[in-house]
Structure 1
Amino acid sequence: MTKILKYTGVLAGFIAMLVFSACDDDISPVVEELDFDRVFTPLELEAKISNQTTVAFDWGFNKGIDSYVLEISDDSLMFANIIHSVSLSPEQTPYVYELPAGDSQYSVRIKGVSGEADDSKWATLAFKSLPENLFANYDVEMTGIGAITLHWKSGKEVSSVVFSSASGDVPYTVTDDEIAAGLKSFVDLPNAVYRIKLMNNDKVRGAIDYVLEGDVLLDEGADIPSAIAAASAGDVILLQAGVSYGFVGDYMIDKSIKIKGLDGKMPVLYTTDGDRMFYIGASMSPADSMVFENLYMSGFVNHDASQGQIRGVFDMEGEACHIGSVKFQGCKLYDMGRQIMRLRGGADQTVGAFVLDDCIIHNLGKSSGSYGVLCGTGTNTNVTHVQISNSTIDSLACHFIRYDKPTACESIIVENCTFNKAPYKSGRYFMDIRDAVISNGVEINNCILGNTSYGDEASIYGVRKSDDIVLSVNDSYVCTDFVNSSYSIVDMCNSLGMSSMDLWSDPDNGDFSFVTDIVAAGDPRWR
């Protein structure tokens, strides 16, 4: 009890002293300014990523700091490998830095420095750059046998290009001049399926898959049939970019072969005589294939509109065949008189797969409109799988597909395609598959269908089929000038509410780029 009172008395006396002191106006404040032996840590540190690898650092405002030290490390808060260090004045915020690679882990730390106190403690932050691909929107250009040129975004920090294949990894150093140009050429590369990586030391800055192939390169004017005859089964015949190759048509191909144009302007193939380019030899088997890639295939004789048209690339005039696949990849198929491929006649004809991808078909069927891109008119003229994708089909005076009697088809799939004037002639069908057997049905996916007007008429027929064939139309769109007078598929599609002339830049001259980005459908090249 005594201690309690004693402490109480002392406390009362102390309070009285404070009261009396407060009445004296001449006494200075007890504390004018707090003094610290260390400057404040910049705790508002943040990092904002833009353009995959550009980072902007900000850290707010701190009093009493003369400068900052900022360091970047390519790890997560370990700071074991500092890749950049800089001294900054307080006014140099935000600080922008180009990171050495995308999709990579980094850390930043910053401290304040003052001549009046000790440095602050480090403020730290972990962050990651966004995925990047410096090859995006740039091409790999094949220039010859075993020769390619790579293109990438110029001026970016890279150290090497690595070719990865089943045989291993082969690195190639990139020079300063090549970095500035965003370009490097290679020769004497072996044929292989490559994963090509653009590196900055151990960081991947870009990657692209590329198939390097080619067994013989033909000079301009070389004879295509002679080259096929001399080739071994499975060979790839390369054609020079931007030149022409005329040959006598009606040529039988009896081995697996690929004919491919070098990158750049497509080489032109045309016939000097004959009714068709090729037909399929009876000796071919379901293990065999034909591939035509990056070619301009002209239906005009001698590539001259005044000299008439051939019927098509393939016209099987009763010859028996059984082949695994026929594929057109990245081709322009122009001015064929009747069809791209037609199966007909009394002999059994089977194609395992008819594939048309990344192509443009223009001005088809002018000499006779009874056919189509693919035409099969007999019960024994069968294509097991039909796949037409990522393509533009324009100006057809014939059906798009006439496949009205075959009995052994499993599927027809048409997707990511742009159609205009397909067809645009009286009595023609978009598809005529009325008596066919198609076990897994027909799909039309993510397509755009434009003008069908011809003369004073505004419509064509839609899809004529039997009740047994399932037709599925998904995420596809019609312009207001796509009109079906019967067998209509208009109501199965979404209306764009505008004509083809309003949707596309110049459809009458083959420009199907959008005036307004209204849908992500149709041939991807126009998006």
Structure 2
Amino acid sequence: MQAISNVFTQLKPAKMNHLIKNALSIIGFTAAILSAGCSKKIDDEITSVDFSRLFSPTAVTTTVVGGTSVNVSWAKVTKAEHYDIELVDNGNQDFSGSSVRSVKNLDATTLTYTFKSLYGETDYSFRVKAVSADTPESKWTTVTFKSGSEQIMTRVERTDLSQTSVTLKWKTPNDVSHFMIGSNKYDISASEKTAGAKTITGLTNGTQYTAKLYYNNGVRGNRSFKTYAANPTGTNVINISSAADLATQLAAAANNSILVIPQGATFDYASAIALPKDVSVTIWGEDGINRPVIALNGLNLPLAAGTIKFANVDITGLPSNIPGGTKRNYIFNQSDSTVTEAIIFDNCIVRNFTNTPVRVQGSKNITIKKVAFNNCIVYDCGVNSAGNGTYAMVHSNTATGKITNIEFTQSTFYDIGYALILHNAAASTSVKIENCTIYNTTGNARYMIDYNTFSAGTFTIKNTIIGKTLSATATANGYRAASAPIVTNSYITSDVVFAAGAIPSVINYTNNSANLFTEPAGGNFVIKDSLFAGASTAGDSRWMP
């Protein structure tokens, strides 16, 4: 660089000017060549600086709303008098087909538009151009996006199921072509399309399925369901008629017995039933539309017991299941010593008890290693006129009584007068609340979950919706324990009032329970708010829209 500088300093002014002129000529010539060589490439770009036509719209965005609508927007184009837009149901940017939706002559001040009634889970292409009478129109600006989920299917009810079939239904009139269940395709006939229903046979009993409804390539809805389970078979199975004495069979049951009771039957027992020692037993209701009803007034656990399981039954505190009768108090009210492996309620209804389904009391050593409610509906337990409730749904307030693990999964609990769990004199190993819908629980000055200063162990609340608290004096509380629960994807409505012990990390739903659920006071918790963020992930799945 120093040498070059020395050369220039030695040149005379005339020669210096001559060199500068030559250099500028070379630069100008090079720029002209480069401009000519690149002009076609630049002209082809959508953002071309081509003043002979309008600029193409920029900042084009698509926002899917509610799964089947899309808001499209773009930036203002100088000198544009109006805009033309098009939408087509493919992601190939091919606008040659008959399915193109066109909107022309949108006012120059209109920079957004909403397309409705899209097909669910479908790829779309959208494009927009600027138009003017005085200047050639712009080139198209094109973007692609995918729509969200659509739901035109109605809920699968118990009456739509059998062990090997399901009747799937949808809102009419609508364009539909076929169902997919796994890799199996089921075409919809013209008559089925008109009726809005198709029965699919050849399914496997006791199996969980998801059916997707299509119109050509677009998904228009999906529903999950489970076929009814077949009755168990084997040498340990005892089939009990509706006229038989279930209590006698239960008291004499051998280990691992399964007592099968028929649909539609009602069994009523005014006295407590003593369960046999060292026995695991299952009371299995025939799976179907009408669960068999057991009207109980108590079960007493022996000194040692295995797993006591109820499956597919309706357990009530109403004598003979007659509405308006004087409710009985408990299913389990244990005061004698026991070590019991588990008490499990699976796919059951539990209702109409003055006090509680599960209570541990007294000074004797009582250990129940697990209490679980799965796929259950539990209501009208522990409600009293004072508003503070009688007993919690799972209740232990004695230092010598311990329920090691408590699980509430895929279940609904409502009209629970006292609380969900009281276990305030001993620790547990775990408490798990997952995919539950909870409404009108927790009485005056009670805690929804109360361990006092003791540990609940591994304490989790996941995918759960907590609705209105029961306390009329606004003195219900959330939780009390040695450590806070780990909370994931769980919501509370605006009519949940916790005076203390607020549950951490819950998501606040800004409206009340009546805005979220179809008819909560009547026990119908189907999500009706289409904008609720947890509609497809939170709460008991039976209520998902």
Query: What band does the TM-score fall into relative to the shorter chain?
Result: 0.5 to 0.7
Asked whether 1:275 is paired with 2:297, we answer yes
Within-5 A mapping of 1:1-80: 74=90, 76-77=92-93
Please, which of 216, 232, 238 is the counterpart of residue 231 of structure 2?
216
In structure 2, C-alpha distance between the alignment counterparts of 1:74 and 1:515, rounded to whole Å: 31
In structure 2, C-alpha distance between the alignment counterparts of 1:465 and 1:262, rounded to whole Å: 40
Quickly say closer, same or farther: Cα 1:146–1:284, change in 2 above 3 A. Answer: farther
Asked whether 1:401 is paired with 2:421, we answer yes
SS at structure 1 position matched to 2:161: strand
Within-5 A mapping of 1:152-171: 152-164=170-182, 169-171=183-185
CA contact (8 A) 1:145 1:216 kept: no
Quickly say closer, same or farther: Cα 1:150–1:234, change in 2 above 3 A. Answer: farther
Equivalent position of 1:300 in the other structure: 318
Quickly say closer, same or farther: Cα 1:259–1:403, change in 2 above 3 A. Answer: farther
SS at structure 2 position matched to 1:180: helix
Counterpart amino acid of 2:189? Answer: T
Equivalent position of 2:267 in the other structure: 246
Counterpart amino acid of 1:349? Answer: T
In structure 1, C-alpha distance between the alignment counterparts of 2:202 and 2:497, rounded to whole Å: 53
Asked whether 1:338 is paired with 2:346, we answer no
Counterpart amino acid of 1:470? Answer: S
In structure 1, C-alpha distance between the alignment counterparts of 2:353 and 2:317, rounded to whole Å: 4
Quickly say closer, same or farther: Cα 1:235–1:394, change in 2 above 3 A. Answer: same
Asked whether 1:179 is paired with 2:198, we answer no
Equivalent position of 1:350 in the other structure: 368
Equivalent position of 1:23 in the other structure: none
The share of aligned pairs that are identical, in percent, is 14
Please, which of 466, 469, 473 is the counterpart of residue 447 of structure 1?
466
Quickly say closer, same or farther: Cα 1:520–1:448, change in 2 above 3 A. Answer: farther
SS at structure 1 position matched to 2:332: strand
CA contact (8 A) 1:239 1:262 kept: no
- The alignment's C-alpha RMSD in Å is 6.3
Quickly say closer, same or farther: Cα 1:267–1:76, change in 2 above 3 A. Answer: same
In structure 2, C-alpha distance between the alignment counterparts of 1:442 and 1:51, rounded to whole Å: 30
Deviation at 1:280, TM superposition (A): 8.8
Counterpart amino acid of 1:450? Answer: T
CA contact (8 A) 1:73 1:107 kept: yes
Q: Deviations over 1:447-485 (max 9, x none)?
A: 3553534xxxx586858967xx124598757869876xx
In structure 1, C-alpha distance between the alignment counterparts of 2:68 and 2:143, rounded to whole Å: 15
Deviation at 1:215, TM superposition (A): 1.1
CA contact (8 A) 1:356 1:388 kept: yes
In structure 2, C-alpha distance between the alignment counterparts of 1:127 and 1:496, rounded to whole Å: 33
Given the two structures, how large is their TM-score scaled by the length of structure 2?
0.57
Equivalent position of 1:149 in the other structure: 167
SS at structure 2 position matched to 1:216: coil
Counterpart amino acid of 1:177? Answer: S
Quickly say closer, same or farther: Cα 1:317–1:479, change in 2 above 3 A. Answer: same
Deviation at 1:151, TM superposition (A): 1.7
SS at structure 2 position matched to 1:340: strand
Quickly say closer, same or farther: Cα 1:236–1:463, change in 2 above 3 A. Answer: same
Equivalent position of 2:98 in the other structure: 84
Q: Deviations over 1:309-358 (max 9, x none)?
A: 333333445374543562455x6533213211224574653333523667
Equivalent position of 2:306 in the other structure: 284
Counterpart amino acid of 1:275? Answer: N
CA contact (8 A) 1:290 1:325 kept: yes
Deviation at 1:178, TM superposition (A): 1.4
In structure 1, C-alpha distance between the alignment counterparts of 2:116 and 2:474, rounded to whole Å: 60
Equivalent position of 1:199 in the other structure: 214
Counterpart amino acid of 2:273? Answer: D
CA contact (8 A) 1:504 1:513 kept: yes
Structure 2 spans left out of the alignment, 5+ residues: 1-52, 73-85, 106-112, 129-136, 233-238
Counterpart amino acid of 2:392? Answer: G
Quickly say closer, same or farther: Cα 1:359–1:78, change in 2 above 3 A. Answer: same
Structure 1 spans left out of the alignment, 5+ residues: 1-39, 58-69, 111-119
In structure 2, C-alpha distance between the alignment counterparts of 1:126 and 1:206, rounded to whole Å: 25
CA contact (8 A) 2:442 2:477 kept: no
Q: Deviations over 1:83-118 (max 9, x none)?
A: 637999999xx9x9976x4322355899xxxxxxxx
Q: Deviations over 1:35-89 (max 9, x none)?
A: xxxxx9xx99x999887568999xxxxxxxxxxxx9967451467xx76379999
Structure with bigger strand share is 1
Counterpart amino acid of 2:393? Answer: V
Quickly say closer, same or farther: Cα 1:230–1:153, change in 2 above 3 A. Answer: farther
In structure 2, C-alpha distance between the alignment counterparts of 1:349 and 1:406, rounded to whole Å: 11
Counterpart amino acid of 2:359? Answer: R
CA contact (8 A) 1:279 1:315 kept: no
In structure 1, C-alpha distance between the alignment counterparts of 2:123 and 2:513, rounded to whole Å: 48
Given the two structures, how large is their TM-score scaled by the length of structure 1?
0.58
CA contact (8 A) 1:339 1:364 kept: yes
Asked whether 1:359 is paired with 2:380, we answer no
CA contact (8 A) 2:350 2:379 kept: yes
Please, which of 466, 469, 483 is the counterpart of residue 470 of structure 1?
483
Asked whether 1:381 is paired with 2:402, we answer yes
Counterpart amino acid of 1:385? Answer: I
SS at structure 2 position matched to 1:179: helix
Counterpart amino acid of 1:254? Answer: S
SS at structure 1 position matched to 2:229: coil
Deviation at 1:301, TM superposition (A): 1.0
Quickly say closer, same or farther: Cα 1:181–1:338, change in 2 above 3 A. Answer: same
Deviation at 1:373, TM superposition (A): 0.3
Deviation at 1:302, TM superposition (A): 1.0
CA contact (8 A) 2:89 2:125 kept: yes
Equivalent position of 1:323 in the other structure: 341
Counterpart amino acid of 1:394? Answer: D
CA contact (8 A) 1:373 1:401 kept: yes
Equivalent position of 1:132 in the other structure: 149
Counterpart amino acid of 2:188? Answer: V
In structure 2, C-alpha distance between the alignment counterparts of 1:502 and 1:154, rounded to whole Å: 26
Counterpart amino acid of 2:92? Answer: S
CA contact (8 A) 2:257 2:280 kept: no
Counterpart amino acid of 1:184? Answer: K
Q: Report which stretch shifted further, 221-230 or 70-79.
A: 221-230
SS at structure 2 position matched to 1:284: strand
In structure 2, C-alpha distance between the alignment counterparts of 1:379 and 1:180, rounded to whole Å: 64
Equivalent position of 2:21 in the other structure: none
